[in-house]
Amino acid sequence: MQPIEWVYVLIFTAMIFSSTLWLILYMSRRDEVHSDPDPSALPSVTFLVPAYNEEGYVQDCIDSILSVDYPKDRLEVVAVDDGSTDSTLEKLRSYGDDIQVIVKENTGKASSINTALERVDTDIVGCLDADSTVSNDFLKSMVGYFEREDVKGVTPAMRIEEPESLAEMAVWVEYVYNLFLRKLFSLFDSQFVMPGPGSLYDTDFLKEIGGWDEDTLTEDMEIVFRMVENGALIKNSTNAEAVTHSPSTFSGLLRQRSRWYRGNFWTMSRYRNAIMNPKYGNFGAFILPWNLFYAGMTVFITGHLIYRMGDFVVSSLTGPVLLNLSLPGLQALSMFHMFQLAIVLLGGTMLAITVKTAPDGMSFRDKTAEIGIFMAAYAFIYSMFWIKAGKDLIAGSEVGW
């Protein structure tokens, strides 16, 4: 075989191995997917809400917290206006004594939630982005995990608001897949992000490790490395639903993901000693190497596809194009087509399980075409995100909220 064929054999084998691993993990522990531990007592909880020019969403966010099914004397809200230039502060102050409001100059999200963290004296602290909302049973679905001594963080089931644009639809499908994967990562003790919409932390532990890093673009990823480094486990609830918003255009999505992926580059570089390090458990031994491999694989496949398409176009312009209409031989079928068939079958199985894992009320029947398009275009779309992030990192482009 040619070297390029060996590369594809490696890629297909890795994809089949990882997909099979997740399916085996799911089948062996599927009773835990929708099962959250019942708390013996309800701990006190504070939600931190950082807001920068979120006048269109912040009231829905605060209202959802105040409406959660939880004792009001065990629930507090600290909102931070990070130098907004719209009516965000006015809307926050309209809640009077129901919430605490901090006003500060614009220094970014991590700085805002660290400032608010200084005021927290409850057992649990949660972070909720101002453009997000939580479900009524959110806290009761999550706090029971903290009764296990080594659990210091819990993540929710995230989805975006009902999509209207193609960009929002792409993210909607991505988040649906992540509902399944995040739970599997939790069962595998290998979650690598504490999402801004709705993640909960053990307050004392969070303060001990220094809160959120203010020098990174992705404080919700960087903090996981320090949590795992200090012996923490992070769990996930598929019943606690956090709903957020996504950029409505692909240009906006590209800017958002460029920032996220640049933060990914930075964090992986800073904690490169965690890769294959037994101190980090499955997180370091499997998830981190796989993430690096997956990013490289996505860019490689897209680049090679573009090269082949370009080569075909050039050949068609410079001479006759001969189409090979003969059926592939048995050797070709066994090498590539069987790999591709296995990946399609595994992917379809994982999609079916994902639909089953998703919270009640999520509609899939009217999104069949969009899901198919997303699956077909996923590698191209996300390789563009990685390439843009790498270019911006090299160029030193500035980023903000």
CA atoms within 13 A on the CB side of 392: 23
Q: Is residue 382 part of a domain?
A: yes
Please count the other Cβ atoms lying within 10 Å of the Cβ belonging to residue 155. 27
pTM, whole model, 2 decimals?
0.88
Q: Is residue 322 part of a domain?
A: no
What residues make up the domain containing 249?
1-317+327-401
Q: What is the pLDDT of residue 11?
A: 83
CA distances 277 to 263, 296, 357, Å, are: 21, 21, 31
Residue with tokens 């999520």: 362
Going by C-beta distance under 8 Å and a sequence separation of 6 or more, which residues neighbour residue 331?
none
Domain count of the fold of the chain: 1
CB distance 106 to 83 below 8 Å:
yes
Q: What SS3 state is found at 152? A: strand
Could you give the angle at the alpha carbon of 47 between the alpha carbons of 41 and 48, nearest 5°? Answer: 155
Per-residue model confidence as pLDDT tens for the chain (401 residues): 678 778 878 888 888 888 888 889 988 998 898 899 999 999 999 999 999 999 999 999 999 999 999 999 999 999 999 999 999 999 999 999 999 999 999 999 999 999 999 999 999 999 999 999 999 999 999 999 999 999 999 999 998 888 888 888 888 888 888 888 899 999 999 999 999 999 999 999 999 999 999 999 899 999 999 999 999 999 999 999 999 999 999 899 988 988 898 898 899 999 999 999 988 999 999 999 988 888 888 788 778 778 878 877 777 777 665 555 444 444 544 556 666 677 677 777 777 777 666 665 555 556 666 667 666 677 677 788 878 888 887 877 666 55
Q: Is residue 165 part of a domain?
A: yes
Rounded CA-CA distance 219/215 in Å is: 8
CB distance 229 to 150 below 8 Å:
no
Distance between terminal CA atoms of the chain? 48
Q: Is residue 393 part of a domain?
A: yes
CATH number assigned to the domain comprising residue 298: 3.90.550.10
Q: Is residue 354 part of a domain?
A: yes
Enumerate the H helices of 2-101 as residue ranges: 3-29, 58-66, 88-93
Q: Is residue 123 part of a domain?
A: yes
Question: Phi-psi bin for 26: left (phi > 0), alpha (psi -120 to 50), beta?
Answer: alpha
Q: Is residue 46 part of a domain?
A: yes
